[in-house]
Structure 1
Amino acid sequence: MMVIWLLGVSGAGKSTLGNRLKSYCDAQGIKSFLLDGDLVRDFYDNDLGYSPPDRRHNIKRIMLAARVLEQNGIIPIVCNISPFEDLRRFARQKFDNYQQVYLRKDIRHARTNDVKNIYKDHMNKTPLVGVDMTFEPPLSNELVLDVDKESVDDSFARLKSLLQKGFHHEK
């Protein structure tokens, strides 16, 4: 089994690609579950804020949920900013087949093309990764998608290829 972890700043396209990958898995009869950071926050009635300690705690919740899914034969497709390198290393230790996909996006482009109004609605209200908090560049990735330079279709094709290689490698 594998864990596919999509990470990058807000607006990089994690949810877009995660949802497409989930649809693909469904069409192929592959058991998967889309695990979005906001889904976990909603489940816990938004009891955590966006400070670094609260973000760390939420990521650990996501990791536990992903581990349970993985152990039960379901591919977790995680969509989360995941700004902390030490937690990424921790994930590599905890999962059997951790596939980290970094959606590299320039923060200036993310702020300009703010589709979900994350930057507009939360500026000066909530610590924003890439603005008020550092997004630590991921040091070890199975795939890097330069989302400012390639289309969603091209990024998805590369992501789908990673999934297929992961299945091929397990057999």
Structure 2
Amino acid sequence: MATTQQIFKIDRTMRQSLNQHVAKCIWLTGLSGSGKSTLANLLEQELHDLGKRTYILDGDNIRQFLNADLGFSDEDRTENIRRIAHVARLMVDAGLIVIVAFISPFEKDRQLARSLFAKDDFFEIYIETPLEVCEQRDTKGLYAKARAHGLRNFTGIDSPYEAPSNPELILNTTQSLPAALVQKTLNYLGFK
């Protein structure tokens, strides 16, 4: 059955006008333990303090509800990112600044996400943190489990992570403190 898109009177331009800011998708990608959730949380706090309407889509949280039916096979990871990219696009259409914090290990999936947005709506930020640092941070014990073969298809151990080929911004969490990286992000995006 073919579907048609409904056109409504209130559109993104009107929502952005009401919000008094432009909507964007800020896509944070990196290994587990790289600092994505920490940076997303700090970035949202700063944007909130600036009067911006925001929402964080975090991989751990989304997998508890919307994507609870997905595992960690390559196919499930691709579907995970496809779904969240569409949710993020809807949120941008709603006039929000959406911060997506997902490992999103495959370049093709991140490119699919980017393709859903206009050029100036999507900003890929690579949280560049070496695997050994992520393993040292291992607050959830996931790397230790993966190394002991108790956790299969773990990104960085027995499942690949493909670093972005052309992100808008690279943030290295071993060279700067999170607060400084958030300020760098705000400056890049034109909020400071």
TM (norm. structure 2) is: 0.81
Q: How does 1:1-171 map to 2 (within 5 A)?
A: 1-44=23-66, 46-96=68-118, 97-123=121-147, 124=149, 125-163=151-189, 165=190
Unaligned runs of 5+ in 1: none
Unaligned runs of 5+ in 2: 1-22
Alignment partner of 2:133: what SS? helix
Percent identity between matched residues is: 35
**Which of the pair has the greater relative contact order for Cα pairs under 8 Å at 6+ separation?**
1
In structure 2, relative to structure 1, the CA distance for the partners of 1:10 and 1:60 (3 Å cut) is: same
Instruction: Give the CA deviation at 1:121.
Output: 4.0
Distance in 1, Cα, partners of 2:130 & 2:97? 29
Contact preservation (8 Å) 1:3, 1:98: yes
In structure 2, relative to structure 1, the CA distance for the partners of 1:45 and 1:68 (3 Å cut) is: closer
Contact preservation (8 Å) 1:2, 1:76: yes
Instruction: Give the CA deviation at 1:155.
Output: 1.3
Deviations 1:95-145 (A, max 9, x none): 121101000111111112212322124542231111111111101111001
Distance in 1, Cα, partners of 2:66 & 2:95? 25
Distance in 2, Cα, partners of 1:44 & 1:22? 22
Alignment partner of 1:112: what SS? helix
Distance in 2, Cα, partners of 1:121 & 1:36? 22
One-letter amino acid of the counterpart of residue 112, structure 1: Q
Bigger Rg, structure 1 or 2: 2
Say what the alpha-carbon RMSD is for the aligned residues: 1.6
- Displaced runs of 4+ in structure 1, greater than 3 A? none
Distance in 2, Cα, partners of 1:118 & 1:153? 26
Deviations 1:40-67 (A, max 9, x none): 2111372111111111111111101101
Contact preservation (8 Å) 2:24, 2:97: yes
Distance in 1, Cα, partners of 2:159 & 2:67? 24
Contact preservation (8 Å) 1:102, 1:144: yes
One-letter amino acid of the counterpart of residue 85, structure 1: E
Alignment partner of 1:132: what SS? coil
